[in-house]
Amino acid sequence: MITDPIADYLTRVRNAIMASHRVVEIPASKITKEMTKILFDQGYILSYKFDDASFQGTIKIALKYDKATKASVIKKLQRISTPGLRRYVSANEMPRVLNGLGIAIVSTSRGVMTNKQAREEHVGGEVLCYVY
């Protein structure tokens, strides 16, 4: 049983990047599927596939690396809101990650989205993580 599936998701991706793996397999949940879609839309991962063969299902993520330097596109994944200390922000206080170069993934009442989308739609929510 995993107490924090978001932290587990981020740790598995982080470990796969450190080991220079091409593909990482992660247990699926609704929120991790939405986070994967955001990472793909923002260009941080190459592709993904949802495999619903088992009860819970899995997510297979193909990680993206720079062709010249072989460095990962994702430099850092940082968990912000934890089960012990939730971090909520309003639309006016939405964080800017690396002065706009990175993204914050935010869980709002209108679904999981980036900090830029939340600011445009003028909704606040729980800041899940920073990606850059």
| 3-state secondary structure (DSSP) of residue 12 | helix
Cα 56–59–6 angle (5° rounding)? 80
pLDDT tens per residue across span 92-115: 999 999 999 999 999 999 999 999
46 and 84 within one domain: no
Q: What is the CATH number of the domain that holds 98?
A: 3.30.1490.10
85 and 40 within one domain: no
Q: What is the CATH number of the domain that holds 43?
A: 3.30.1370.30
Single out the residue in 16, 38, 63 at which a domain terminates: 63
| Domain interval for residue 20 | 5-63
- Residue 22 confidence (pLDDT): 97
84 and 53 within one domain: no
Query: What is the distance of C-alpha 3 from the center of its chain?
Result: 17
pLDDT tens per residue across span 58-96: 999 999 999 999 999 999 999 999 999 999 999 999 999
DSSP characters over 48-81: EEEE-SSSS-EEEEEE-B-TTT--BS---EEE-S
User: What are the φ/ψ torsions at residue 29 (nearest 5 degrees)?
Assistant: -150, 170
CA gap 73, 109 in Å, rounded: 29
Tell me if the pTM is above 0.85. Answer: yes
Binning pLDDT at 50, 70 and 90, where does residue 56 land? confident
Indicate whether 21 belongs to any domain.
Answer: yes
CA gap 132, 125 in Å, rounded: 20
Give the count of alpha carbons within 13 A of 103, CB side only.
Answer: 19
- Residue 1 confidence (pLDDT): 65
54 and 91 within one domain: no
10 and 53 within one domain: yes
pLDDT tens per residue across span 9-29: 999 999 999 999 999 999 999
- Domain count across the chain: 2
